[in-house]
Amino acid sequence: MKTALEELIEYIEEWQPRNKNTVEIWSKAKQLLFTERQQITNAYETDLASHTEFRNGSEYYNDIFNKNK
């Protein structure tokens, strides 16, 4: 199974013509893989299912990732 970011990187590599913009987007997405992997690892290691402060994964996501919206 691939993460959404890994799928995006694959899409850019396979389907987008190489130009300055796509190379920069591809490069940034590759850099962000580390952050994505750390977030997934942290979620697993903290055993989110055992926390009662969130009723479900959507609440967790909104609390952690949508603070600025």
Question: Residue 38's pLDDT is what?
Answer: 85
Return contacts of 41-44, CB within 8 angstroms, 24+ apart.
none
Q: Is the pLDDT of residue 68 over 70?
A: no
More confident residue, 18 or 59: 18
Q: Which residue range forms the structural domain that includes residue 48?
A: 4-65
Task: Report the predicted TM-score, pTM, of the whole model to 2 decimal places.
Answer: 0.62
Question: Residue 44's pLDDT is what?
Answer: 65
Q: What's the rounded Cα separation, in Å, for the pair 37 and 54?
A: 22
pLDDT digits (tens, 9 = 90+) for 12-53: 888 888 888 888 888 899 899 888 888 877 776 677 656 657
Give me 60's structure tokens: 């967790």
Number of domains making up the chain: 1
